[in-house]
Structure formats: C-alpha cells, structure tokens
Amino acid sequence: MKKTLIPALLLILLPASLAFALSDASTENTGIAPGSYKSWSALPILMYDNDIGFGYGAKAKLVDFLGIKESFDLILFNSSKGERWYVFTFSLPDIEIRQGKTYPLSFDLKAEYDKFLKYSYYGQGMDSRKEDETILTHEVKNLFLTVGRGFTPHFSASVAYVFRTIDYYGVQDGPLAGELRRLKKKSAPYFSLAMAYDTSDSQIHPTRGLRLLIQDDIAVSFSRNGDASFNRVTLDFRKYQRVFGEKDVFAFRTLVQYINGDEIPLFDLASLGGGNTFNVMRGFGLNRFLDKGKILANVEYRFPVWWIFGGNVFIDAGNVWPSFGDINFRKTVFDYGVGLRLFMKDFCARVDFGFSKEGMRLYFNFGHVF
C-alpha cells in the first residue's frame, strides 16, 4: 500500500502547491463579493428508479442567516424499497456562493446516515451473473470534515477526514448468501485529498467547458478489530461542447478508478451500474459490477424540444477488473437510451430510459448525471 500511497499523494499535492504559489497572480475581482446572500428554500423530493423504487422526502436550506455567508442544508429521504437517507451539511462559505470564485479557506461538515434494506449483490468481476443476485441490508454512517481553498476561479483543492462505520446484516437466502454472512461491521475512516479544475459555464446546465477531478482516498488500519485499509485513486474528466446552436450540447465523460489494500469494504470496491453519478450505467442495476478497478465512459447529446423541455440520447460503457494486468476490454458492457429534461432556472428534472442485454430500466430524478 505504501508504494501506491506516495505517488498518489504527490499527484495531489504538487499541483496544489504550484497553484498556491501562483495564487497571488489571480485577479482581485474574482473573490466572493461583499453583501448579503440571505435566502431560504424548502423543496419536496420525488423520484423513481428500479433499484430504490419510489423515493420521497424533502430538502431545506438556509443561507447567510449568521451573516458569514454560511449555509445549513438538510435532506430527509425514504423509498418504497427501503432506503433511508438523511443528510445534514454545514458549509462556510456556502458551496454555491464560492463556486467560480477565489477564497482563502472553506469548511464543510457533513453528517450522513444511509440504510438500504434491500441492497443487491451479484458477485465480483465482469463474469458475475444477474441470476446470482442476493439481497442484504447495508447501513453506513459518515461524518465528513473538509477544509479547502479556491486558488483561482477555476482551480480548488481540499483535504477531508471521514469518520465512517459500515454494517451488513439481514442477508436473504441466495446463491451468494454464504459469502455475505461472513461480512462483519467495519470501522472505515479515511483521509481524502482532492483537486478540481472547472471551466464549465454552469453547475446546473453546463453547455461548454470542462471539469477535471483527481481524488485520493486513504484508509489506514490502526487496530485489529476490522478497520478498513485501502488506497483509492479516482480520475474524473468531463467535457461539454455546444453543437448546432447554444442549446444543443455534446457531453462526454470518462472516469477511471482503482482501489488497492488489505481490508476493502465490499461496496467500497469500484462499481458500475445504476443512475448514481460515479457509477452510472443506466441499463444495469445498482452495483451490478464490482472489482478493484473500473473504467467508465458516458456520451450524451442534449437538445431542446419545446419551451422548457429538452431531450437526450446516450451511450454508457464500462469495465471492471481485479488488477491492471487483468483488464479484458472484450468484456466491456454497453447500454444506450433516451431521456427527457425539464429545465428550470435552479434545477433540472430528468427521465431516462436505459436499455442493455439485461433489460430496460427507468430513472426519474433531478440534475444531469454528469
């Protein structure tokens, strides 16, 4: 693990150090403007996909009520298939306020509870079979403490410490039940180092520019009671380009991730499948493919339809592997689909239909998947 840890740290810290040295050259007018940003909002949450069923809840947010440009954000979410997801976030300054600005320091505290009563496991590798699906309950508790800096309007870096516990229980009878019943509750704290470069013109409706994220998550075991021990490196690149006009957008994304270590929690492995941002393959179930490494590619053409409605067509492709020497691109899986979008000023609602060799899946949610 130490051999992979040192270059990964250098990968993060050297560019950040260079940006820090050059930060004084940034323009004076790119910082957060003075004045009041006070606002509040409360919104219902309604969604659906094949993995979680019908989702419902609420989101509330207070901004700048203390006069220091902070925000308090609360999400309460339940689903018909048994997911319970509760999140509280305190940010200083608010994430949206600091977006595209220089800032000397940011702080985020995030407390998260996620319990999924009907979590699916199919085994590991590209040869895992859909018919081996086995159900269990997966429970995660997280506390994130993050400090960051906006060196320029486009470049930022952060360091975080995550207190984390993971539990597995309620394994139902199935082909992989024996493997799952051997899993034990784990304490899985880790450090996270990240740097991001973002030239996109919008966080909600990007039509041009690029985004690059490099992140290294480092878990070190300090005891013999089942602590996690791993090093996970993620590279996420996204490009947005206008075509045929200002509202026709070609969006491309590629993500590479590799995790190595002695004690890796099962669902911390690199995963593909479902509608989540970092593993999105819309023709397959959530966490359909798991292993130590993965490569994911998503391509979308987004176009206007009428008034505030838009459409998209997409292709997703992905592969997982146990080591770089074992990559077999002939086993890469693909899906394709179509979708509808409802564009509002502050959000985007989406409906996607994904098709693959394993059938059709439906997703109704908010925000672009990338």
In whole numbers, what is the pLDDT of the chain averaged over residues? 91
Q: How confident is the model at residue 225 (pLDDT cuts 50, 70, 90)?
A: low
Least confident of 3-12, 304-313, 348-357: 3-12
Question: Nearest-CA neighbor of 269 among 256, 295, 296, 287?
Answer: 287
Least confident of 64-68, 213-217, 260-264, 288-292: 260-264
Amino acid 22: pLDDT: 39
**What is the CB neighbour count within 10 angstroms for residue 333?**
20
Q: Which residue has the higher pLDDT, 363 or 223?
A: 363
Architecture of domain 2-19+41-366: Beta Barrel (2.40)
Report the alpha-carbon distance of residue 321 to residue 162 in Å, rounded.
26
**Residue 326, C-beta contacts closer than 8 angstroms, at least 6 positions apart:** none
Length of the chain: 370
Question: Nearest-CA neighbor of 23 among 111, 151, 129, 177?
Answer: 151
146: its two tokens: 């993050």
The pair phi, psi for residue 331, each rounded to 5°, is: -95, 5
Report the alpha-carbon distance of residue 339 to residue 238 in Å, rounded.
19
Task: Read off the pLDDT of residues 155-164 as tens digits, 9 standing for 90 and up.
Answer: 999 999 999 9
- Residue 25 predicted with pLDDT over 60: no
Q: How confident is the model at residue 14 (pLDDT cuts 50, 70, 90)?
A: very low
- Provide the pairing of β-strand 209-219 with 229-242: antiparallel
Amino acid 2: pLDDT: 43
Domains of the chain by residue range:
2-19+41-366
pTM confidence score: 0.88
Q: How confident is the model at residue 36 (pLDDT cuts 50, 70, 90)?
A: confident
Report the alpha-carbon distance of residue 255 to residue 295 in Å, rounded.
6
Least confident of 37-41, 195-199, 252-256, 357-361: 37-41
Average pLDDT over every residue of 344-362: 93
Q: What is the 3-state secondary structure (H, E, C) of 3-68?
A: HHHHHHHHHHHHHHHHHHHHHHHCCHHHECCCCCCCEEEEEEEEEEECCCEEEEEEEEEEECCCCC
